[in-house]
Amino acid sequence: MTLVQMQPRPVHAHAHADLVHRTVNDAMEAPGPQVCDDMTVEVALAVMAGSRTDHLLVCDEDGLCIGLVTQPQLTALRRSAVYTDQLRVRDVLGDRGPFTSPMTAMAEAEHAMRYRKLTALPVVDEHGTALGVLALALAR
């Protein structure tokens, strides 16, 4: 997975204006693996291992993106006392989201992700269809 790291770089005056207007669409990755919300946590972890990714987009029965789960999130759940082999990905997600639009300014998306301590964020269109994933390296 390619991580997008936001670091200031020396730029010319005209190039600086381009960076200010950069959107999520300019930095997002392809959506990658997607799973249905009725999949078990065990199967989702196997899909992650097989695709060598640390996150999966989760879709509902209509194929619309309802969220994203991460490998650390599912692994921690699997180690918890509430875990059973019948636990579904939808049980982990809770409410839908968070999401971002491809037209969101990168500065705004980066700020929101750092505030919420997210490493990846689904990018969806106005109908809820997954267009990609915005992945940022969190500052340590």
CATH number of the CATH domain containing 57: 3.10.580.10
> What is the reported pLDDT for 11?
42
> What is the reported pLDDT for 92?
84
The structural domain count of the chain equals 1
* DSSP secondary structure code for residue 52 in this structure: T
In Å, how far from its chain's centre is CA 122? 4
Domain span holding position 55? 21-135
Q: Is 55 helix (H, G, I), strand (E, B) or coil?
A: strand
Which residues are CB-neighbours of 26 under 8 A, at least 6 positions away?
106
> What is the reported pLDDT for 50?
94
Instruction: Indicate the helix (H) or strand (E) that contains 92.
Output: helix 89-93
Q: Is 137 helix (H, G, I), strand (E, B) or coil?
A: coil
> What is the reported pLDDT for 137?
63
> What is the reported pLDDT for 91?
86
Task: Decide if 83 is inside a domain.
Answer: yes
Listed as ranges, residues in the chain with pLDDT below 70 are 1-20, 137-140
